[in-house]
Amino acid sequence: MGRLHQFRELLLQDGKITDDEVEVIRQYIRQDGKLDLDDVKLLVELQSEATEVSPAFDELFFPVLKEVILADGRVGLDEQFFLLKMLYSDGRVREREKQLLLELRRDAREVTPEFEALCEEAFAAAETNWSVGGR
């Protein structure tokens, strides 16, 4: 079992991310001295798999996502995948998630039509009880 997988499983044993665990996560993602898409992947997985996250997690989560996603000035397709997972995997589209999209759209040097469509769908979605199709 990989180190990352073990780390994620250990943090999510009780389904919650506490303030104390946020500091552990912060140290983990910064241990190599740079933030990258692997860090975003970990954070999004933690956020989407946890049943409860502390406000301190959001204070770490959103700035890291923004920094990594805008590192090259644009929101790429691979980054859009993680945004979709963030938005829809926990069954809620939170206002803070919509705010992140607004910030990304405002601060990106280049936005794609796909990212614009992602934003418009998220902005129009109710916080809960939305549908992404199917039955």
Band (130; pLDDT cuts 50, 70, 90) = low
Encode pLDDT of 29-51 as tens digits: 998 899 999 999 999 999 989 99
Quote the radius of gyration of the chain (alpha carbons, Å).
15
pTM above 0.75, yes or no: yes
**Residue 22 is inside which H or E element, if any?**
helix 19-30
Contact between 25 and 11 (Cβ < 8 Å): yes
Phi and psi angles of residue 132, each rounded to the nearest 5 degrees, phi first: -110, 25
* Residue 101 pLDDT greater than 90, yes or no: yes
Paired strand residues for 63: none
pLDDT at 134: 45
Encode pLDDT of 63-100 as tens digits: 999 999 999 999 999 899 999 999 988 888 899 999 99
- CA-wise closest residue to 59 among 86, 93, 22: 22
Report the distance separating Cα 107 and Cα 31, nearest Å: 27
pLDDT at 129: 60
Chain centroid to Cα 93, Å, comes to: 12
Copy the structure tokens of residue 25.
Answer: 């996560």
